[in-house]
Chain A
Amino acid sequence: MPRMTMIEAIRSALDVSMARNDDVVVYGEDVGFFGGVFRCTQGLQQKYGVSRCFDAPISECGIVGTAVGMAAYGLRPCVELQFADYMYPAYDQIVSEAARLRYRSAGDFTCPLVIRMPTGGGIFGGQTHSQSPEALFTHVAGLKTVVPSNPHDAKGLLIAAIEDPDPVIFLEPKRLYNGPFDGHHDRPVTPWAKHELAEVPEGYYTTPLGKAVTRRAGEGVTVLTYGTMVHVALAAVAESGVDAEVIDLRTLLPLDLDTIVASVARTGRCIVVHEATLTSGFGAELTALVQEHCFYHLEAPVMRVTGWDTPYPHAQEWDYFPGPARLGQALRDILETR
C-alpha cells in the first residue's frame, strides 16, 4: 500500500471524489492553477478542468456564500479557506446560512458543503496563521466538525464529508501536513513515510464521521484529544511511563460519546487536550460531558491541557504550544490526585 503525506491523502480524497461524482467542485484562493498554498489541490485543475477546480477571489464571504448557492443548486462544493484564521469574513455564511438552510426551509433546500481549512500552530505562523477555531463551529447547530490526525483518516474522513448531506467543517492540522509532530520541536522532523497511518489505499474508502478511535489502550487515565495533539499525547504518555488511554476523537460533532464514556468509566481519570485556548474551548464541552456521564467513576477532577487564553504568539510559540512536557506533568499530577 502506498504511503502518503497528509497533503497527498487529502489530494487523493479530492481526486477520488471528483472522479466518482461530477457534482464535486473544488475552489478557493490559489487552489486552481497553482494547486493551493499547501499543494492539496495540485493537479486537479489539469485533470478535471477549470470548471471543476478554479481560483477564487480573496473573499472568504464570497467563497462560502457562492458555495452555499452551489450546494442549494445540487452540487457538492468542497472549498478551501487558506487558513482557518481567515474564516471570519465567511462566518455569517457558515453560521446563519449553511448551518441552518435545511432547518429553516424544512428540508426544501439543503447544503451539502465541505469547507476545508488548515488549523493549528507549530509552524511559526504567528497569531494569524495558527488559530484553532473549532469551538466556534461545534457551538453551531447544523454543522459537523472534523479534525483528522493522520493521512489515512484524512482521506477517509474527507470523502465521507463530501458525501455527507450536511455542511462539514474540515479542519486540517497544518503541522501534520508533512509529518506526525509529537511536540518536540527541537528534534529532527519525522516524515509520514515511517508512520503506519500513512498507509493509504489509492482508491475509494470512507472513514465514518462521528466515530472516535483509541490510539493507545491504557488503564490509568483517559486522554481525550484530536488533530496534532494526538501525537503529542502519545509522546507524552510514552515518556511519562503512565498507562494512559489515548482517544483520537476525529469528529468533534457529532461526538462519539459512547467511546469516551466507556473509557473514562474504566480509568476513572480524564485529561482533555487541545491547542485552542482554554476558556469556552471544546475541552469545556468534553469536560462537562465526562462530568455528566462519568461522575460516579471519577477519582480526580477532569483536567485540561490547552493553549493559553492569549492570542497565538510568534517568537514564544513553544511557550504557548501545549507540548509533551506540560501534558506529561498533567499525567503525573492526575494520578497523584486521590
Chain B
Amino acid sequence: MTSLTPLRFHVPEPASRPGGKPDFSGVSIPKAGSVRRPPVDVAPEEIRDLAYSIIRVLDHEGQPIGPWVPDLSRDELVAGLRHMVTLRTFDARMQMAQRQGKTSFYMQHTGEEAVSCAFRIALGPDDMNFPTYRQAGLLIAHDYPLVDMMCQIYSNANDPMKGRQLPVFYSSRKHGFFSISGNLATQFVQAVGWAMASAIKGDSRIAAAWIGDGSTAESDFHAALVFASTYKAPVVLNVVNNQWAISTFQGIARGGSGTFAARGLGFGIPALRVDGNDYLATYAVAKWAIERARLNLGPTLIEYVTYRAGAHSTSDDPSAYRPKHESEEWPLGDPVIRLKQHLIAAGAWSEERHKQAEAEILSEVIAAQKEAESFGTLHSGSKPSARDIFEDVYAELPPHLRRQRQQIGV
C-alpha cells in the first residue's frame, strides 16, 4: 500500500501585521531608467519581462532618467503638481467634513494622487474613463468644478446626482468620467464595450478601464480581458495596485501570479508595470498604452504599483490590519514629494513657491467648500426633492411609479 501525503491548505499572509515591523523586502524595485522602452507595436510575447519589472523615471534625487522620460514641459509638470496638491487638499477637507457629520462617507486618495492625475493629462479630452472610487484626479486634472464634486459628496440640492449616490460616486460624461458603481469591477468590462463601440463606429475615441488590485479577482475583470483581447478593443486596462483591499493584502487576489500585470500575458495583452508614485513614469506609460489604442494595436494592461497611505474609507482603521508605520516605509515614496523634488532639482520650483501654492490651493478649496455648503450638507440645509426618488428610473414615469409617487404626496 502506498501512503498518501496529507494535503495542506494554503492561505497567503502579508509580510507583517499590526505590532510587526513593516517589511517590503519582497517588493523588488529596479533602478530608475533601467527598464527598456519598446516600440508601441511590439509583439506582446517580446515584452513579457515588463510585466514583472517596474518602469521608473525619477531617481532618488528627483532626476529623470532613461528611455521613459516623457516630453512634458516644466509648466505642465507644475500643473500636474498643483492637481495632486488640490486632490490631497480636497481629500483632507472632505475627510474632515465627514468627521463633522456633514456627509456619511468619504474615500481619500493619499499616496495614489499621481496615478489618476497623470493619466488624465495623457488622455485626450473626449476619451472615456470607467473609474473606481479612487480616481478623482481624473476630474480634478480635467477642470471639473470642485463645488460640483462637493455638492455630490454632501448630497445637497445642487448634487448633480440628485442625492441618489453615495459620496464620491461622481459621473460626468462631459468630462469623460463614467458613473461610478459600488459593485466592484463591473465598469472594467463596460469600458471594453465602450471601446468596442467606438471601433465599430470608426470613431477615434478610446476608453480607459480602472480597477483595484483586490477586485481583479471578480469575473468581470477576466471577462474584460477576454473581450479586449478577442476584439483588440481600443482600451487601456488600468490596475491600481495599492497593496490593500480594505484589510486584505494584495496577495489574496493575486495568488501565485507574481504581479497583476502578468494577468494580461495569458490573454496576449501587452502588460506593463509602472511606479505609480512617479508622475513622470505614470504619464509616460499611460501615453504609450494610449498611443497603442489609437493606432488600432489593441488593449494594454498597466499595473500601477502604489500604496494606499490612508484608510480604505472613513469606515476603517488601517492600524487594525497592518503595521502602524507601514506607509512611511513604502519604498516608492510619496508622489507629491517626489514631483516637487524633481521640479526643485530642475530649478522650476522651490519650497517657498510650494508653500505658497499649498496656501493658494487651500483657500480655493475652502472657498469651494463654503459655496457647496451654502447649498446644504447631508443633514442640514436644502436637499434633493423626494420627487427625485422617482425620476430617472425610466425615461418616462410608468404608471406604477406614478401611483407610488402619489402615495408619498409629491
Interfacial chain B residues near A61, Cβ < 8 Å: 189, 219-220, 223
A74 to B189, CA, bound (A): 16
Task: Flag whether B280 is at the interface (Cβ < 8 A).
Answer: no
| Ranked 9 nearest A-B pairs via Cβ | A69-B193, A66-B193, A62-B223, A65-B189, A69-B190, A105-B179, A73-B197, A254-B398, A69-B194
Is A33 an interface residue, CB under 8 A from the partner?
A: no
Give CA–CA (A181, B220) in the complex, Å.
38
The answer to the question of A217 belonging to the interface, with a C-beta cut-off of 8 Å to chain B, is no
With most chain B CB atoms within 10 A of its CB, the pick from A59, A69, A70, A97 is A69
Q: Which A residues lie within 8 Å of B392 (CB)?
A: 102-103, 106-107
**Partner among A52, A59, A73, A210 whose Cβ is within 8 Å of the Cβ of B194:** A73
Chain A residue numbers with a CB within 8 Å of B190 are 65-66, 68-69, 72, 97
- Whether A108 pairs with B220 at a CB distance below 8 angstroms is no
A255 and B178 form a contact (CB under 8 A): no
CB neighbours (8 Å) of B178 from chain A are 72, 109
Distance of A257 Cα from B190 Cα, bound (Å): 35
Given known pairs A75-B200, A96-B186, the reply for A108 and B172 (CB within 8 Å) is yes
Residues of B within 8 A of A66 (CB): 189-190, 192-193, 196, 227
C-alpha spacing A108/B164, complex, angstroms:
13
B171-183: CB near A (< 8 Å → 1, else 0) gives 1110000110101
Bound: A192/B199 CA distance, A? 40
A101 an interface residue at 8 Å Cβ cutoff?
Answer: yes
Chain B, residues 382-399, CB within 8 Å of chain A (1/0): the string is 000000000011110011
Which residues from 57 to 102 on chain B have a C-beta closer than 8 Å to any C-beta of chain A?
Answer: none
Residues of A in contact, count (CB < 8 Å): 46
Q: Is there contact, CB below 8 Å, between A106 and B193?
A: no
CA gap between A84 and B180 in the complex, in Å:
28
A110 at the interface (CB under 8 A from B): yes
CB proximity of B251 to chain A, nearest CB, Å: 25
Q: A65-B186, A96-B186, A257-B399 are in contact. Are A57 and B200 (CB under 8 A)?
A: no
Task: Report the minimum CB–CB distance from A67 to chain B (whole Å).
Answer: 6
Q: From A209, which residue of chain B is reached at the shortest CB distance?
A: B398
Q: Are A67 and B179 in contact (CB under 8 A)?
A: no
User: Which B residues are in CB contact (< 8 Å) with A254?
Assistant: 398-400
**Chain A residues with CB below 8 A from B162, complex form:** 106
Q: Name the one of A56, A106, A141, A165 contacting B161, with C-beta atoms under 8 angstroms.
A: A106
B197 pairs with A75, CB closer than 8 A: yes
Q: Name the interface residues of A240-254: CB closer than 8 Å to any CB of B.
A: 253-254
By a CB distance below 8 angstroms, the chain B residues around A77 are 193
Binary flags per residue of A99-133, CB closer than 8 Å to B gives 1, else 0: 00111111111100000000000000000000000
Give the residues from 205 to 248 in chain B that come closer than 8 angstroms, CB to CB, to chain A: 207, 219-220, 223-224, 226-227, 230
B314 within 8 Å of A (CB atoms): no
- A51 and B200 within 8 A (CB): yes
Complex interface bits, A16-50 against B, C-beta within 8 A gives 1, otherwise 0: 00000001010000000000000000000000000
Name B219's contact: one of A89, A102, A142, A257 (CB within 8 Å).
A89
The one of A65, A70, A72, A253 that contacts B224, using a Cβ cutoff of 8 Å: A65
Which of B130, B192, B230, B393 is the most central at the interface, judged by chain A CB atoms within 10 Å of its CB? B393
The answer on a CB contact under 8 Å between B198 and A73 is: yes
Taking CB atoms, residues of chain A closer than 8 Å to B199 are 51
Q: Establish whether residues A108 and B160, one from each chain, have CB atoms under 8 Å apart when the complex forms.
A: yes
Tell me how many residue pairs across A and B have CB atoms closer than 8 Å. 143
Contacts A52-B200, A68-B190, A106-B160 given; does A210 touch B227 at CB 8 Å: no
B165 at the interface (CB under 8 A from A): yes
Nearest-Cβ distance from residue B390 to partner chain A, whole angstroms: 10
- Residues from chain A with a CB closer than 8 A to the CB of B161 are 104-106
Instruction: Indicate if A166 sits at the interface (CB-CB under 8 A).
Output: yes
Q: What residues of A have a CB within 8 angstroms of the CB of B164 in the complex?
A: 103-104, 106
Alpha-carbon distance A56/B230, docked complex (angstroms): 9
B165 CB contacts on chain A under 8 angstroms: 104
Min Cβ gap B194→A in Å is: 4
In the complex, A61 Cα to B227 Cα: how many Å? Answer: 11
The interface centre, meaning the residue of B164, B193, B223 with most chain A CB atoms within 10 A of its CB, is: B193
A85 to B302, CA, bound (A): 36
Find B197's partner among A70, A105, A210, A257 (CB 8 Å cutoff): A70
**A150 part of interface (Cβ distance < 8 Å):** no
Output the least CB separation between A126 and chain B (Å).
Answer: 25
Q: For the complex, what is the distance from the CA of A234 to the CA of B165, rounded to whole Å?
A: 47
How long is the Cα–Cα vector from A32 to B193 in the complex, in angstroms?
A: 17
Determine if B119 is an interface residue (Cβ-Cβ < 8 Å). no
Tell me if A149 counts as interface (CB < 8 A to partner B): no
Decide if A12 is an interface residue (CB 8 Å cutoff): no
B169 within 8 A of A: yes
CB distance from B236 to the nearest CB of A (A): 14
Would you give 25 A-B contacts (Cβ < 8 Å), ordered by A?
A51-B199, A57-B230, A59-B223, A59-B227, A65-B189, A65-B193, A66-B227, A69-B196, A72-B190, A73-B128, A73-B198, A75-B201, A96-B186, A102-B394, A104-B161, A104-B179, A106-B164, A107-B392, A109-B173, A210-B399, A254-B399, A254-B400, A255-B399, A255-B400, A258-B399
Contacts of B186 in A (CB 8 A): 65, 68, 92-93, 96-97
Among the interface residues A92, A106, A253, which one has the most CB atoms of the partner chain B within 10 A?
A106
The docked-state distance in angstroms from the alpha carbon of A256 to that of B100 is: 49
Question: CB < 8 Å: which of B181, B191, B201 contacts A104?
Answer: B181
B201 contacts across to A, CB distance below 8 A: 23, 73, 75
Asked whether A97 and B181 contact (CB < 8 A) given A69-B207, A70-B194, A254-B400, the answer is: yes
**Nearest Cβ on chain B to A185's Cβ, whole angstroms:** 36
